[in-house]
Structure 1
Amino acid sequence: MDSTPNEGTFTALRTQLQEAAAAFADGPDALEGILLGIVDDVDRAVREPLEIFPVCHHSPASALAMARRLREKQPKVVYLELCEDMAPLLTELRNCRLPVAVQAFATKVDGFPAEWAPLSVVAPLTEASAEYQAIAYALDTPGVELVLVDRSSDHVFQWQETKDESAEPADPDAPPAEEEALHGDSVGVEIGDLRPRFAELEEHLLRHGRVRHWSEWWHQYVELPLGDSDHDTYRQVMLLIGSLFRRLAPGEAHRVRVDEDRERYMWTRMRQHMTATGTDPADALYVCGAFHAASRVAEFGVHGADTFEISPPSATKWQHGLIPSSHAAIEAQFGLAAGSVSIAAAQWAKNLRRTRVKPYRLAGQTGTRMPKKAARTPAAPTPAGQGPAPDRLTGFLRRPPVLDRFDEEELLGWSVEIVRAARRNGYLASTADAIAVFETSILLAGMRDRARPTPYDFQDAAVTCIEKDTVPGRRDVRRLVEIMLGGDRVGQVGYDALPPLARDVHDRLAPLNLKLQQRGVQRALLDMASRPELQQCSDVLWMLRYLMPHGAARTVMGERRLGERSLQESWDLALGTHQRALIELGYEGVSIEQVLEQRLRRTAYGPQATTATVLKAVEDATLYLRSRRLADELGRHALQVLATERSVDGAPEVLRRVRGLLAYYRTSEPSLPAWIESFVKAGYAHYCTLLPTAFADDDASVRQVAAMLGFLFSMEGLALSLGCDRNQLELAVAQSRPGEAAKTALLWAARTQLGHLSRADLRARCDELLGNPLTLPAYPRYLSGFLHALEPVPGLADFAVEAVSHAFARLPDPVLLPWLPTLITTVRSGGTDLAPLLIREAGRIFPGRLAALDTWVPPWRAADPATVTARPSRDGTAAPGGVPLLSAYPATCDAVADLLGCEGGWHTPAPSRTGAVLLARHPRTARALEELLTTP
C-alpha cells in the first residue's frame, strides 16, 4: 500500500493548519508537525481499501452513523474490535434485556500470578452503542459473517504488568459501590475508548468548553454536531479526534506498547481471515475505536507487514457467559460521569425520532419491540476510478450550531416534568419553578457559549431553581433529573442464556411460584409440614445463602443446625438483583452441590487453614450437603492440621466445633466416626503437651487456656476409653506455672477439678487475697479467671458467685468503689459468653423476695458448723446440727459413705440420764406422775 498522503484531498485544511501553527507557535516546527500529522492520519485511514468505521464507546452518534452506514453499504463481513473468544456468546443476546456484559471468567489461573485470581474480563453492551448495531446486523442478516478480531481474554492479562495498571482513576461523580458490584473488579475491554490521556489537554478542553467533566464536553462538542452529519463527515471527524488524542497521549511505554500490539493483533487477524476466505476488502467493514483507527504501526492496512507473532494462550481455562450490567456500572468502570450513559440513551431515542433511522435489533430481543423488516437496499457502489471522499472537515469545523424547534419543545417538556417529579418527592415546586428552570437553562447555555441547552445545563438549572435548603425526601433534584432522562437502566440475562447451574437453581426453586428473574426482594414462605416437597427448595436456599453474597438469599424465620431441621421457614430472595453472582457460580461447576464441595475443599486445604476452619468445613458439609463421605475426608484432614499446630489461638473454636459434632453424632448415628475418635485422642495428648507452655505464655489469653482445659475435661471420659492416660493431664497441670492473676485462678480451678485442691483450700486462698492490701487491686482479675473456669469446670459456678458476693460483703466502700469499674470491664471483656451461667447460678442461690433477705443465710455460710448451730429455728430455739439429719436417714448416709470410700461406724450421743428437760416442757404430766407415785 502506498502510504504517501494524497495532497489533493485535504490541501485546504493543511494550508490553514500550517498558517495557524506559524501564527501561534513562534515557528511552524513542533505544532505544525502535530497538526499536519493529524491530517495525514485521517487521509491514510480514509484511503484504506478496507473501510474503517471509527466509533466511541456508548456514543449515540456512533450508533446512529453505524445503523445508517450498514443499511447503505450492506457489508458481507463485519470485523469488530472485541475479544475473539467471546464470539460464541453473542447469539445469546437475543435472550437478554440490555444492557448486559459479555464476560470471560477464570477461577483457577495457570500461567499468571496466583494473587490475580479470579480473572474476569467484561465487555458491556447497550442498545445505543455502535457495537450492538453491528452485532444485530450481522446476526440477523443472512449471508453476513461477524468476525471478532481483538486480542483474547487470555492476552488481556498476558499483556498486563500489574492487575491494577489498567484501572481508571476514581471519578468524583462515580455511582455508589452497590452499583459497581454489577461488574465488580473485572477488567473492562475498552471498545471505542476515546478520552484524552493527556491530563493537561483534558483540563484545557474542560476549562475553555465551560463544562464540568469529560462526558459533558463530549456531549456538547461531538455528540450534538455529529448527530445530523453525513457518513463522510462523521468518519473524518472521529478519525481527527482519535489522531489528536493519540498524538498528544503521554509516552507511557507499557500502555503505548499494548495499544500498538492490539492494532497489530487486529490487522493480523483480519488479513488471515481475508486470505483464508477470499473476502474482498470492499465487501467488509472494520469497526474499531477511533483511537485505534488512526494507527501508525507497520501492520496497518490490508497490505501491511506480516511481522507480528501472536503468542499462544496460557493454560488457564476460561469460562464465558453473559452477566447483567447497568448504566451506573458502565459509568463506574470506564470513568464516566454519573448519569452520562442515561443521557446518552435519551439522546439515542431523540436521534431516532428526528432522523427516522431504523436501528438494528436482534429478533426476539427482550425489552425491545420487534422492528418492521426493512427492505434490503443495495449498496451504491463506488464508481471505478473515483478516489476517497472529499474533505468534509473544513466545512464541519466552520459550521455554527443551530437551535431547532424540536429542542425548545423538549426543554419545555423537561421543565414541566421535573416540577411534577419534585412535587412527588416532597419539594414545594410550582409552575413558576418550571418557567424558571426553562429560562435558567437557556441562560446557562448562553453563558457557556452554547446555542442550545444540553441536559447538563438543564440539570444545573433544576438544582438552582427547585432545590432550596434541604432535601425533603430520599432523592435530590440532580438524581430526579437522571431518573427523568432515563434513570439507571439495569439489564437482565434471560433463562436460555444462563449457565446450566443457574437454570438448575431456577428449576429446583420453581415450586415456590416466584418470579426469580425479577429484580428486588421477594418473600418466600415454606411450610414443609404440609408440603414436604418444599424441603428440596429449603436445601437449595441454604446452599445459596452460603455461596452467594449477603442479601441474595436471606432467612427471616428458620435455622439450620446440626441435628435440627425447621418445619417452617421464611426467606427474602433477590436472585434477580444478584444475577451476576449466580451466573459466576455456573463458571465453577454444573450444580451448586459441586460448587459447594469445591469451596469447602479449597477452604480446608488452603495454606492458611487451621483446625477450626477445617472443623467448620466438616460441619458445613454435614449441614448443607449431608455428605458423610466428604465430612469424614475433611475430618481426617483436620487431624493432620491439628498435629502441625504449635499455638492455641483456635482452641475456643475447636472446642465449640468438636462439642457440636460429638453431640450430633451421638444422637443421630449408632457409633462415632473413626476420625472423631482419633481427633479426641490426638487432641487430648496435643493440649496436654501445650498446657504448661500456654499457662506461662503471655500471648496466650485466659480464654484460650480455658478452652484447652475445657477440651481436656469434657473429652476426658471418651479419651480415657480410647486409651489415653490421665497421668498426662495431671502432670501437665502440675508443671504449669502461670504468672498472671487470671491464669492462676484458672489453674486453681483445674486443680480443684482434679481433686488436688479442696473447696475449703480454694476459699481460704480467696480470703487471703482479700485480706492482703497488696493483692486486693488484682482481685478482679482473679474473678475473671474463675469466670473463665466455668468453661472447663462448670461445677464452680456457685463458688464464683460466692467469691463475688464475699468481696462485696467484706470490702468497705472506699475500696470497693474504685475497684468496681475494673471488675465490670474485666468481666465484660473476658467472659461475656459465660456471664449468663453466672447470673443463673446467682438467681438460684439468692432469695427471690426482698422480705426473705433479712433471714437468708448464704449456702457457703450454712455449711460452716459454727454458723449452723447459731442459726435460729422457727420456734426460736437453736437449730440442731447435721448429726440428727444423718441419723434420720441412715441408709442414704451409708450409700454416700460407701461412694466416697469412708469407713467407720455410727457415733451417736449418749441419751440424757435426767428427765428435767422433759418435765420442764410438760409440767402437768409431771405433777400427775408425781401424785401417782406418791399415792400409797
Structure 2
Amino acid sequence: MGGLPLRRSRGDRDAVVSEVVTAGGPSAAGGATEDADGVASGGFASLREQLTGAAEAFAGSRGDLGGILTGLVDDVDRALREPLEIFPVCHHSPASALAMVRRLRQKQPSVIYLELCEDFQPLLTELRNCTLPVALQAFASELHGHPQDWAPLSVVAPITAASAEYQAISYALETPGVELVLVDRSTDHVFQWLPREPRTGGAEPATDEAESATDEAGLHGDAVGLEIGDLRPGFAELEEHLLHHGKVRHWSEWWDQYVEQPLVGADYDTYRQVMVLIGSLFRRLRPSDAEKLDRDEDRERFMWTRMREHLARTGIDRGRALYVCGAFHAASRVEEFGSDAPVTEFTISDRTPTKWLYGLIPSSHSAIEAQFGLAPGSVSIAAATWKKAVTKAGVKPFALTGQRGTSAGRAAAPAPGPAGSGRRAAGAGAGAGAGAGAAMLPATPSVPVDRLSGFLSQPPQLDDRDEAELLGWCVDIVRLARKNGYLSSTADAIAVFETSILLAGMRGRARPTPYDFQDAAVTCIEKDGVPGRRDVRRLCEILLGGDRIGSVGYDALPPLARDVYDRLKPLGLDLESRTIQRALLDLAGRPDLAPASRLLWRLRYLLPADAVRPIMGERRLGETASLQESWDLAIGRYQRSLIELGYEGVAIEQVLEQRLRQSVRATDATAATALAAVEDAILYLDSPTFVAELGARAVELLEAERTVDDAPAVLRRIRRLLAHYRATEPELPAWCEQFVTVGYAHYCTLLPTAFIDEQTGVRQVAAMLGFLFSLESLALTLGCDRAQLELAVQQSHPEVPAKLALVWAAGTQLGTVTRVELRARCDDLLDNPLVLPAFPQYLSGFVQALEPVPSLAPFVVEVLSKAFARLPDPVLLPWLPSLITTLREQAGELVPTLVREAGRTFPGTLPALDAFVPPWEAASAPAAAPAAAVPAGPIADLLTTHPAATDAIATLLGVEAVWSESGDAGSSPEVAALLTAHPAAATALAALLPV
C-alpha cells in the first residue's frame, strides 16, 4: 500500500505492495502462508496467486515476501469465516460509521460486543444528557496495587457522532431487546498490564494507547486515551514511505485520501475485507516489541474470553451477534480467536482494590487530535466527510433520544427475535434507505467472496458534487477571510479553485481533498502576512466544521458539580456557557449573595485561575470582606476540572478540606506549607477545629525539620497569623503558642550550624534570627530561656562576610556588641584595602540584618555614606556593580526600608545639602575639660572597696574606667566626671552601705 494504494491498476498495485513490504524490512515478517485453520484456498485463491506471482517477480522467489502477502489474504479469509460476525473499525472514521449504520439496519443484531473497557458500561446511558463530543472517564487518586508515583490515574475514551462505536451504542440503547456488552479489559487492567517502571519527571506511565498532550485546551488533561481501532504503521520507515509515495504531509491526510474516501461509497463486504487487510498489514509489519505484542494479544484473549462466556451464559445465537473491534484486532492470530476456538486456559486477573470513579467530561475535536497524535483539523474534516456521506447515501444515522446537538434517529425495527419472514422484511425495508451504492448480502456467507481484487484495481470515479463543493469552499473562504482582515477578492476565490485542482494533480489525486484546498488557500490568500489572530489554515478548519466542543448536561454531572450550579443560581448566569460572563455582587444590598461569594472564593482556590477570576474584591488575613465584588466566570469552559472535583467528594468544602489535609500530610510537606494551609483554612473554611488540626501538624513538621530553607516563609506566615489572632481572638490558639516555643528552641539549636553551613544562605539565617528576636517576648512569656539564644549566638563563628555581619548585628541586639564597637569594625574594613573587594558582602549581611534588627537601619545608611565618601574613584567605580548586584539578589525586599531611612536622614533640598552635617559626625562633640579630683571620704572609700560595680556601670555607659596604681578612683578622670555628674546616686548608695 504505497504511493496510491487503493486506486491503481493491478500490475501497479502488485509493485506498490512489494515496495511497502520492502520498507517494512524482512524482520517484520510474521505468520505463515496459511491461517490457523489451514485455509489455503477458497474465495481468495485468485488474489493469492496474483500476490504470489508479484512476490516472485519482485524478489526472484516467494520466500518471506510471498509469505507476508499471502498471509494478509489468509487473515482476511479467517476473519470473514468466523460465525460471530466481526465488524472492523477505525476510531472516528466516517467510513466505519456509515458502514455501521448500514449493517445495523440490514442485520439488526440482538447482541453487540464492543471493544471498550467493560467497567464503562454504566456510563453509556448518561450520553443522552450530553452534547457530543464527550469522553468517558475513569479516575483514581488513591492507588492500591499500583505504583504510588503513578497517582492520580485517569483514562478517557472520546466519543464523537461520526464514529462507529457511537452508532452501535445509539442503536443498542434505542432499540428494545438489544444488549450491548463491553468486552475489553477494565481500566484497572490497563494499568495492571503495564511494566512497573518508575516514572520520571511526572510523566504518565508508558502505555500502548496514545497519551494526551499537556495542553490544557485539550480538555483531557493528562489522562491516558483509549481508542477503538488504532490503525497506524508501527514502523516509522513504513509510515515515511507511505507519506512520501502518497505525496502527503502527515498520516491523517494519507488515511483520508486512500482509505476514508474510497471506502465511504463501498459495499459492506468490500469495507470489511479492506479494513481487515489494512489491520493485518500493520500487524505483520510492526517492530519486534515482544512486550507490546504480548499486551495486544492479551487484550484479544480477554475479549474473546468474555464473548464466549456471554454466549455460553445466555445461549444466544452467535449469528444474531456483532463484534465491533479495531481492524488491528480483527486480524488476530491468537489461539483463543473465534467463538469455536478450543477452550484454553487464559486467566483474567482480579482487579486491584483501587477505587475507580467514573464520569463524563467534555471533549473536542482538537482534544482528540492532540490525544492521539492526529493532524490539526483532521477530526473536523472527518465530521464534514460524515455529513456529506450521510446526505449522499440517504441513510438516517442513529442518535440517542433527547441528546442535545443531534436529531434522534431511532431504528424503525422491531425487537430482535428469531429469524423469520417478518424480520427479513424489516431488514429489507431498513436497508433500502441505504441507497443503490450500499447493496449488501442478507447474511455473511460461509465462504467469503473476493471483493478485494476488484476494489483495488478499479479506477477512481469522479463525482460531480465534488466540483460544486470545492466552488462553495472557495467562495466561503474568501468571505471568511475578509471578515478576518484579509484583502481577498473574487480573483482569490478563482485562484484557490484552480490551485486546488493543480495541487491535486501534482499529488496524483483524482480530486482535490480538503488538505489540498487548505494549501491552496494559504498560498493564494495569506501570502506573506496574517493581519489578525487567525491564519488561513485555521479559517479553513472553521469553514470545514471547526473545533466542535462537547459538554456534559446537568443530569450527567456528579453531585458536586450539580451542587455548585444550584448554589450559584442566584447570580442569574448561564454557567454551562463557554463564554466569559461577568458577575456583579452587591453584598451590602443583597446579603443573600454572601453564600455565593464564599463559594466563588473556594472555587477560585480549587479550579484553574481563568475559570473563576476576581475583578474587584479580595480576601486576605486581617482584612474585612468586600461590600461589592465583581467576577469573570468561565466555569463552562473548565467543566472538566469541575467534574474531576466531583470525583474527590460530594461538596466543595469537603474537597477543599481533603486537599489541605493532603498537602500537610504529603511526604514533601514542610512547616511553611502547613502554615499556608492554615491560612487557606481560615480564609475559605469556617472550621476552627480543622484549623487547629493543621496547626498541630505545622508544629510537628517544624520540629522534624533538619534544614532552614523555608525559614523566611515560616517567619512571614507566622507573623501574619499571630497578627490575625491578636486582632480577632481574645487569646492565641494553643497550637500558635506551641509553634512559637518549639520554633524558638528549634532555631536556637540549628543557628550555629546554619552560620557555618555553606548550603544555607544569608537570607535563611537572617529569617531565623528574625524569628528569634521578633517573637522573643512572646516566647519568654511562654517559658523559653533567653540564655539559649545567647549561647547560640556565642557559638556561631562564620567565615562568610555576610554571615559575619549578621553575627555582629545579633550581638548589638543582645548587648554584647556596642554601636561604638560595630562602627569601629566597619571603619577598619573601609580602611583595609585587602578587605574592600568583600565589603559588599558585609553590607549585604547588614541589610539582611534589618529583618531581625530593624533599629540597625540608621547604621547601615551611615556605613553606605562612609563608603561613598571615603573610597576613591578607582576603588568605588568598580565596586558599584558588585554592590548593586548583591543588594538586588540577596536583599531586594529590604532595600525599600533602607531607602526610607536614607530619605529621613538626608535633606530633601540642594541648599540644605551644602550645610548638612551627618548625625554620626555631629554626635562626636569636643572633649570636656578634666573634672576636679574627688576629695577623699566615704564615697571614695566605697568606690575603692567595690570597684566591680563601678566597672559594670562604666561599661554600660560606653566608657572605660582607668584606676590609679593605688586604686584611688579620684585620679581617674572618667570616674571623677561620673561622680561629679551623678552625685545623688553615689550618696544614696553610700547611705545604704555601712561606710
Compute the TM-score of the two structures, normalised by the length of structure 1. Answer: 0.90
Distance 2:869 2:620 in 1: 44
Alignment of 1:97 with 2:135, yes or no, is no
Greater shift in the superposed pair: 442-451 or 310-319: 442-451
1:108-187 paired onto structure 2 within 5 Å:
108-161=142-195, 162=197, 163-166=204-207, 177-180=215-218, 182-187=219-224
1:550-565 paired onto structure 2 within 5 Å:
550-564=609-623, 565=625
CA deviation map 1:11-38 (0-9, x unaligned): 2222222222222221123222222222
1:280 Cα deviation from its structure 2 partner: 1.0
Alignment of 1:246 with 2:286, yes or no, is no
Distance 1:504 1:326 in 2: 25
Match of 1:769 in 2: 829
Match of 1:846 in 2: 906
Distance 1:52 1:596 in 2: 48
Distance 1:204 1:826 in 2: 59
CA deviation map 1:246-273 (0-9, x unaligned): 1222221111111111111111111111
Match of 1:856 in 2: 916
Residue segments in structure 2 that go unaligned for 5+ positions in a row? 1-34, 198-203, 415-424, 429-439, 930-953, 959-976, 984-995
Match of 1:887 in 2: none
Distance 2:830 2:52 in 1: 99
Match of 2:576 in 1: 517
Match of 2:894 in 1: 834
Greater shift in the superposed pair: 418-427 or 602-611: 418-427
Letter in 1 for 2:797: R
1:797-812 paired onto structure 2 within 5 Å:
797-812=857-872
Match of 2:301 in 1: 264
1:731 Cα deviation from its structure 2 partner: 1.5
Letter in 2 for 1:227: V
Alignment of 1:364 with 2:398, yes or no, is no
Distance 1:747 1:141 in 2: 84
1:600-619 paired onto structure 2 within 5 Å:
600-619=660-679
1:3 Cα deviation from its structure 2 partner: 2.9
3-state secondary structure, aligned to 1:856: coil
1:388 Cα deviation from its structure 2 partner: 4.4
Match of 1:686 in 2: 746
Task: Decide whether the 8 Å contact of 1:6 with 1:43 is kept in 2.
Answer: no
Distance 1:248 1:574 in 2: 47
1:164 Cα deviation from its structure 2 partner: 4.0
Distance 2:928 2:185 in 1: 93
1:570 Cα deviation from its structure 2 partner: 2.5
Distance 2:711 2:838 in 1: 26
Match of 1:669 in 2: 729
Letter in 2 for 1:252: D
Letter in 1 for 2:608: P
Task: Decide whether the 8 Å contact of 1:85 with 1:153 is kept in 2.
Answer: yes
Match of 1:280 in 2: 317
Distance 2:92 2:307 in 1: 24
Match of 1:338 among 338, 352, 376: 376
1:467 Cα deviation from its structure 2 partner: 2.3
3-state secondary structure, aligned to 2:480: helix
1:520 Cα deviation from its structure 2 partner: 3.2
1:348 Cα deviation from its structure 2 partner: 0.4
1:604 Cα deviation from its structure 2 partner: 0.9
Q: Give the direction of change, closer, same or farther, for the CA distance of 1:224–1:812 in structure 2 (3 Å limit).
A: same
Match of 1:391 in 2: 450
3-state secondary structure, aligned to 2:135: strand
1:734 Cα deviation from its structure 2 partner: 1.7
3-state secondary structure, aligned to 1:803: helix
Letter in 2 for 1:124: P
1:384 Cα deviation from its structure 2 partner: 10
CA deviation map 1:667-711 (0-9, x unaligned): 111111111111111111111111122222222211111111111
Match of 1:780 in 2: 840
Match of 1:210 among 225, 247, 253: 247
3-state secondary structure, aligned to 2:360: strand
3-state secondary structure, aligned to 1:379: helix
3-state secondary structure, aligned to 1:81: strand
Q: Give the direction of change, closer, same or farther, for the CA distance of 1:196–1:906 in structure 2 (3 Å limit).
A: closer
Match of 1:891 in 2: none
Distance 2:677 2:61 in 1: 74
1:904 Cα deviation from its structure 2 partner: 7.3
3-state secondary structure, aligned to 1:368: coil
Match of 1:234 in 2: 271
CA deviation map 1:201-224 (0-9, x unaligned): 222222222212211111111111
Match of 1:635 in 2: 695
Task: Decide whether the 8 Å contact of 2:55 with 2:62 is kept in 1.
Answer: yes
| Aligned-pair identity (%) | 68
Letter in 1 for 2:390: L
3-state secondary structure, aligned to 1:109: coil
Q: Give the direction of change, closer, same or farther, for the CA distance of 1:386–1:613 in structure 2 (3 Å limit).
A: closer
Distance 1:620 1:166 in 2: 38
1:345 Cα deviation from its structure 2 partner: 0.5
Task: Decide whether the 8 Å contact of 1:74 with 1:378 is kept in 2.
Answer: no
1:145 Cα deviation from its structure 2 partner: 0.9
Greater shift in the superposed pair: 761-770 or 354-363: 761-770
Letter in 2 for 1:529: A
Alignment of 1:584 with 2:644, yes or no, is yes
Q: Give the direction of change, closer, same or farther, for the CA distance of 1:138–1:385 in structure 2 (3 Å limit).
A: closer
Distance 1:603 1:383 in 2: 63
Distance 1:754 1:175 in 2: 58
CA deviation map 1:862-914 (0-9, x unaligned): 33323999xxxxxxxxxxxxxxxxxxxxxxxxxxx9x9999978789xxxxxx
Alignment of 1:23 with 2:64, yes or no, is no
Distance 1:356 1:553 in 2: 46
Distance 2:47 2:817 in 1: 104
Letter in 1 for 2:227: E
Match of 2:80 in 1: 46
Task: Decide whether the 8 Å contact of 2:744 with 2:779 is kept in 1.
Answer: yes
3-state secondary structure, aligned to 2:155: strand
Match of 1:884 in 2: none
Match of 1:66 among 93, 97, 100: 100
Letter in 1 for 2:337: F
CA deviation map 1:496-549 (0-9, x unaligned): 111111111122222222222111322222232222232222222222222222
Match of 1:916 in 2: none
Task: Decide whether the 8 Å contact of 1:742 with 1:783 is kept in 2.
Answer: yes
1:717 Cα deviation from its structure 2 partner: 0.7
CA deviation map 1:97-124 (0-9, x unaligned): 1111101111111111111111111110
1:794 Cα deviation from its structure 2 partner: 0.8
Task: Decide whether the 8 Å contact of 1:861 with 1:867 is kept in 2.
Answer: no
Alignment of 1:575 with 2:635, yes or no, is yes
3-state secondary structure, aligned to 2:355: coil
3-state secondary structure, aligned to 2:896: helix
Distance 1:491 1:444 in 2: 34
3-state secondary structure, aligned to 1:336: coil
Distance 2:460 2:855 in 1: 90
CA deviation map 1:792-829 (0-9, x unaligned): 11111122222222322333333322222222111111
CA deviation map 1:301-357 (0-9, x unaligned): 111133211111111110111111111111111121111111000000110111111
RMSD of aligned C-alpha atoms? 2.5
Distance 1:867 1:496 in 2: 92
Q: Give the direction of change, closer, same or farther, for the CA distance of 1:373–1:241 in structure 2 (3 Å limit).
A: closer
Alignment of 1:695 with 2:755, yes or no, is yes
Match of 2:351 in 1: 313
Query: Across the two proteins, how many residue pairs are aligned to each other?
Result: 876
Q: Give the direction of change, closer, same or farther, for the CA distance of 1:385–1:298 in structure 2 (3 Å limit).
A: closer
Match of 1:507 among 563, 566, 572: 566
3-state secondary structure, aligned to 2:400: coil
Compute the TM-score of the two structures, normalised by the length of structure 2. Answer: 0.85
Greater shift in the superposed pair: 610-619 or 313-322: 610-619
